[in-house]
Structure formats: C-alpha cells, structure tokens
Chain A
Amino acid sequence: DTEVTQTPKHLVMGMTNKKSLKCEQHMGHRAMYWYKQKAKKPPELMFVYSYEKLSINESVPSRFSPECPNSSLLNLHLHALQPEDSALYLCASSQEPSGGTPLYNEQFFGPGTRLTVL
C-alpha cells in the first residue's frame, strides 16, 4: 500500500467553526508533513512530524494545530480561520532519514483537502 489518504476531500467552514483534516498512511513511514497550497502557487511546508513528535513548525499561526496521535495518522485542527486560509491542504509521508546519512526519502503525497473559509 503506497497510498496517503486525506479526508474530507472538500470542506467549507465559517470563521467561527472548528474542524479537522485527517491524513492516514500505512507504509510504515515515521515522517509526516502538512503543506498549504494556494491557487497557482507551489506547496508551502507548514509542519513536519518525526516519530510522532513535532519537529518543524514553519511559523504557522496558532489557529492551525497539528496532531499526530500515532504513526499512521496526522490531523490538522482548524479554529477561527480567515478567508485567506482557503487553500488546498496536502499531507505527505516519508521514511525518516537517520543520523545525517543522505538517505533518499521520497515523499508520498495525498490528494489534498480543498478548504474554503467563508
């Protein structure tokens, strides 16, 4: 199984709502990622989890709250979002390189969740 699944595919929410995006992989990968992609722009890294611990937060506003409950699941909790947060949210996973070795680690991407904030 080389698939990363994301749910829901589409989400519309108001600025006062609380919602969550879900990502799942069963490839045994111990690194998982959230990216945000605005229209006609490249994906931008938001968060990196390594062995279920947050290792990188690219200065993302606190209204985005990631969670990695186990090695197969990655959530992104959303609260009090703004219309400018409307975007495609992509999840990815990869093997975790070890000890500075330049290990090849292809990232596998999910299909994304299209989020619209009204």
Chain B
Amino acid sequence: DAKTTQPPSMDCAEGRAANLPCNHSTISGNEYVYWYRQIHSQGPQYIIHGLKNNETNEMASLIITEDRKSSTLILPHATLRDTAVYYCIVRVTRTGNQFYFGTGTSLTVIP
C-alpha cells in the first residue's frame, strides 16, 4: 500500500502562501493523491485531489512531481481559519477504495 510522509508541523504567516509537502514514493500509476484537513475535533474536510497533473480549485493548488513520488499542497493566502491538521492520502485501488491516513501536518497560521 502506498504510504505518505509529511512533516509533523509547520507555521505560516497570515496572508502568505502555505506550502505543505508530502512524499508518496510507493504510489502506483492509477492511485490518486487526496488532501484533506481536519480542524480540531471536526470531521476531515476534502480539499483537493490529483492524479498526474497540477490541480487548482477555490481552496488550494496541488502540485504533483513528474515522477509522482511527491506533491505539495499550496494555500495561496493563508488565514487564521486555515489552522488545522492537513492529511495527504493515497487511495488504495488494489483492494477497493479505502483511505489510509498518514500522520498529517499540523499547520498553524500566525497573525
């Protein structure tokens, strides 16, 4: 199963871009990369997903390296409400559609 590695914590100044890295060196060719975040004691919230190409939506951008072994989630203008734990997840397709969460990055946005 593809696993993900993320730094345990990061700080970002309010209004600046937050760049959250993720390594997934064992990812398979048809496995998507998903990003979720979890604000304290709430359910995880979907942010963005991608397969090979870079993706952007109203919340964030996802940059996936050409070899697909790593990715970066970019929050372009971080706000205090973006303080959360961010999870990079690779969906396992071999046996179904389950998610296995990595340890995540705790992002603190500083005023």
Contact = CB atoms under 8 A, between A and B. Distances in A.
B93 A102 contact: yes
Contacts of B43: 4, 90, 92, 109-112
A96 B91 CA distance: 13
Interface string B10-42: 000000000000000000001110101000011
Contact of A43 (B93, B97, B101): B101
Given A102-B31, A106-B49, A31 B97 contact: yes
A90 B44 CA distance: 9
Interface of chain B, main secondary structure: loop
A94 B36 CA distance: 14
B96 A106 contact: no
B96 A42 contact: no
A105 B95 CA distance: 15
Interface residues of A, number: 29
A50 B93 contact: no
B99 A97 contact: no
B91 to A, nearest CB: 7
Contacts of A100: 93
B87 A112 contact: no
A16 interface: no
A45 interface: yes
Contact of B97 (A4, A88, A94, A114): A94
A31 B44 CA distance: 17
B32 A102 contact: yes
A76 interface: no
A42 to B, nearest CB: 4
B31 A42 contact: no
B93 A114 contact: no
A109 B45 contact: yes
22 contacts: A4-B43, A33-B98, A33-B99, A42-B87, A42-B101, A42-B102, A43-B101, A44-B101, A45-B98, A48-B97, A50-B96, A56-B98, A94-B97, A97-B93, A102-B31, A102-B51, A106-B46, A107-B46, A109-B43, A111-B43, A112-B41, A114-B41
